[in-house]
A and B are shown apart, each in its own frame.
Chain A
Amino acid sequence: MSAVERSAGVKPMGIGSGGPGARSAGMGWGERYIHYWMVVPAVLCMLAILAYPMLYSLWVSTLNWKLGATTFQFVGIRNYTEAFTSSFFWFVAVQNVVFAIVVVIIDFTIGMFLAVLLNINFRGRGFLRTLLLLPMLTAPVLAGFNFRWIFNDRFGLANQISLAFGGPQLPWLADQWLARVTIVAATIWQGIPFFMLLLLAGMQALPSTPFEAALVDGANAWQRFRYITLPLLRPVIVVAAALQLIDLFRGFDVIYIMTNGGPGHATELFPFYTYRAAFSEDRLGFACALSWITLVISLLLLVPLFLNERSGAEGEKTRK
């Protein structure tokens, strides 16, 4: 059930919203607005620490501001037009989109395989699930170092194995395509458990009747998966893919640790681009513009979620 659905749905009126007269006259001001008193501290905290800075950054994105400078210059939307007309921006955009799509496809494929495996009833599967979750809860910094060490050009495991079999030593992090491969490897390592977890949760919530009917009709395992599991899981797949895509436009740590955006700019994605603009090139206004562009992309990625939610809610209604 979704946020929207729950809040819009009929919720039995709680205490405090019983309307006038429902409560004794002795109810004080504090008690009547109790729900607001309970919510306000958290809301103020989020407004002050998240919403206000974001609006502030929207203002900064219209300025030409250097770190530590006391004066700044209003430039209107010039930071945005500069972004959209620079070829480097589009290079990063394409790189980020392709990266996100490749990662999501691989994550989905392997995550689905593991979810199917974990959906089988066998002894120790709970433990297996926990072990397979560990990469996701590993600090991204640590994941970056893990893979940087494995793909170290001299002493890394990848090259040790290659040498042991008489192969060449590859400059994993110095070649632009190999560096991209290693970044993708580190990212999917952390992303697969996410898909696995969500798909598994989805599978375990599926009704059993369609599967029984299909068994009676003689459908084999692949057909049951292809024509029943996959279509029924569609909403979960959409949610997982959308959330994952949003996170892939937020990913910073792994790249910062492994390649620092390089070689050249071969592994530079939006967050790193923003970081570099702010703290290396000292262009806070431009960096804020970039972070707002990323935010808009993330919000656009949320749209399929809400559409999905709506069609899901309608589906539920018609079923009743």
Chain B
Amino acid sequence: MSSVAMSRGSYARPIRWGKITSTTIVYLLAIVSVLIALWPIFWIILTSIRPLHEITSTRLQILPQAPTLENYVNVFTRYKTSTYLANSMIVSTGTVIFNLILGAPAAYAMARFSFRGERILFGMIIIFRMIPMFAAMIPLFMIFSSVMLLDTLTSLIIAETALKLPVTIWLLRNFFIDVPKELDESARVDGCSTWGGFFRIALPLIQPGLAAAAVLAFLWTWNDLIVTLILSNTDKSTMLPLGITKFLLEFGVDWGSLTACGVLMFIPTVLFVFIAERYLVAGLTLGGVKE
């Protein structure tokens, strides 16, 4: 490709200049798109370190004139943010654990065996990935209220686990397929049971897959509003996405504390994006797009 381009352009003009201009344009476009794309995030970070009189000002000031951390203190002293944080942490972690426990064997079976009902399972996974949340959540609300599980972390973990399972199974299945079948077959020849081959051979080999599935399940639970909105009644089971709406007060919005809480809520995304990004396509499309 490059040789064709060279022979066509080499005598017309010096190639170097063209290359330098096009590289400059590419970098300019890259910088501009990052600035635009991340602007709302920058802005919320900037707001979170402004004192109140700067927040409630109509004058345009990009950078805070008197940066302060007082909003971050208020987040914890004036609101029950620590409870919300703890709840979010417990539910997201619990969801991840149950997803891996339930999802990994299922994914392994789907990757290794052909069995009756496999296609139905695929259909289920695809449909459950895209059901309207309220189709499941309104009846779940009624069911949980009849068994007195409303407003408990248990109910949140149960609901979130089921909602995230389809994607977890799908992702892990793709990883198991990439493990050479001969490896766990030879383990079996050496006297391992299927479970033994699964635990001792296959599972250790797909550690990156487990990490990816865990991270995606964690983030999507951490970010999810609807489940906690419907199943939580009091602070005792409120997760962060619902907790942050408590900053909308009767007399207006406490934007300083709200943005500070938003920044805290955003931290896992930044921490995990580098692990998550490589597997996002598979997780989001359930194999609809080849990579």
Check if A145 sits within 8 Å of B258, measured CB to CB. yes
Check if B105 sits within 8 Å of A42, measured CB to CB. yes
In the complex, A239 has a CB within 8 A of chain B: yes
Q: Given A3-B126, A42-B169, A252-B133, does the pair A208, B26 have CB atoms closer than 8 Å?
A: no
In the complex, B17 has a CB within 8 A of chain A: no
In the complex, A307 has a CB within 8 A of chain B: no
In the complex, B43 has a CB within 8 A of chain A: yes
In the complex, A22 has a CB within 8 A of chain B: no
Instruction: Report the Cα distance A149→B50, complex, angstroms.
Output: 14
- A130 contact from B5, B166, B245, B277, Cβ within 8 A: B277
Interface string of A263-291 (1 = CB under 8 A from B): 00000001100110011000010011011
In the complex, B181 has a CB within 8 A of chain A: yes
Q: Given A31-B194, A41-B105, does the pair A57, B258 have CB atoms closer than 8 Å?
A: no
- B269 contact from A38, A137, A288, A294, Cβ within 8 A: A137
In the complex, A135 has a CB within 8 A of chain B: yes
In the complex, A261 has a CB within 8 A of chain B: no
Q: Given A2-B288, A132-B34, A141-B241, does the pair A161, B60 have CB atoms closer than 8 Å?
A: yes
Check if A45 sits within 8 Å of B102, measured CB to CB. yes
The residue on B at minimum CB distance from A56 is: B139
Residues in B neighbouring A288, C-beta threshold 8 A: 135, 138-139
Instruction: Report the Cα distance A198→B135, complex, angstroms.
Output: 28
Instruction: Report the Cα distance A6→B273, complex, angstroms.
Output: 29
In the complex, A128 has a CB within 8 A of chain B: yes
In the complex, A98 has a CB within 8 A of chain B: no
Residues in B neighbouring A100, C-beta threshold 8 A: none
Residues in B neighbouring A114, C-beta threshold 8 A: 33
Check if A60 sits within 8 Å of B142, measured CB to CB. yes
Q: Given A161-B60, A163-B58, does the pair A50, B131 have CB atoms closer than 8 Å?
A: yes
Instruction: Report the Cα distance A128→B57, complex, angstroms.
Output: 33
Instruction: Report the Cα distance A243→B285, complex, angstroms.
Output: 7
- B194 contact from A8, A16, A189, A236, Cβ within 8 A: A16
Check if A141 sits within 8 Å of B37, measured CB to CB. no
Closest approach, in angstroms, between the C-beta of B143 and any C-beta of chain A?
A: 6
Q: Given A149-B255, A150-B40, does the pair A291, B225 have CB atoms closer than 8 Å?
A: no
Check if A291 sits within 8 Å of B138, measured CB to CB. yes
Check if A7 sits within 8 Å of B262, measured CB to CB. no
In the complex, A36 has a CB within 8 A of chain B: yes
Query: Which chain A residues numbered 189 to 216 have a C-beta less than 8 Å away from chain B?
Result: 189, 192-194, 197-198, 201-202, 204-205, 208, 211-212, 215-216
Residue from B101, B108, B139 whose CB has the most chain A CB atoms within 10 Å:
B139
Query: Which chain A residues numbered 114 to 140 have a C-beta less than 8 Å away from chain B?
Result: 114, 117, 120, 122, 124-125, 128-140
Residue from B138, B195, B270 whose CB has the most chain A CB atoms within 10 Å:
B138
Residues in B neighbouring A189, C-beta threshold 8 A: 37, 40
Query: Which chain A residues numbered 129 to 174 have a C-beta less than 8 Å away from chain B?
Result: 129-143, 145-147, 149-150, 152, 154-155, 157, 159-161, 163-164, 169
Of B75-83, B115-123, B204-212, the one with at least 4 CB within 8 A of chain A: B115-123
Check if A160 sits within 8 Å of B58, measured CB to CB. yes
Residues in A neighbouring B97, C-beta threshold 8 A: none
Check if A36 sits within 8 Å of B115, measured CB to CB. yes
- A17 contact from B41, B113, B223, Cβ within 8 A: B113
Residues in B neighbouring A76, C-beta threshold 8 A: none
In the complex, A92 has a CB within 8 A of chain B: no
Instruction: Report the Cα distance A215→B65, complex, angstroms.
Output: 54
Check if B133 sits within 8 Å of A46, measured CB to CB. no
The residue on B at minimum CB distance from A159 is: B58
Check if B131 sits within 8 Å of A39, measured CB to CB. no
In the complex, B259 has a CB within 8 A of chain A: yes
Q: Given A155-B55, A257-B245, does the pair A149, B105 have CB atoms closer than 8 Å?
A: no
Which B residues have a C-beta under 8 Å from some C-beta of A? Answer: 1, 4-5, 23, 26-27, 29-30, 33-34, 37-38, 40-41, 43-44, 47, 55-60, 101-103, 105-106, 108-110, 112-115, 118-119, 121-128, 130-140, 142-143, 158-159, 161-163, 165-166, 169, 181, 185, 188, 193-195, 198, 219, 222-226, 229-230, 241, 244-245, 255, 258-259, 262, 265-266, 269-270, 272-274, 276-277, 280-281, 284-291
* CB-CB nearest 10 A-B residue pairs: A49-B162, A139-B223, A53-B139, A38-B105, A42-B106, A38-B109, A146-B40, A291-B135, A35-B113, A160-B60
List, sorted by A's number, 18 A–B pairs whose CB atoms are closer than 8 Å: A15-B113, A36-B115, A43-B106, A45-B102, A54-B139, A60-B139, A131-B38, A137-B276, A139-B269, A141-B265, A143-B40, A146-B40, A146-B44, A147-B40, A149-B44, A198-B284, A201-B289, A291-B132
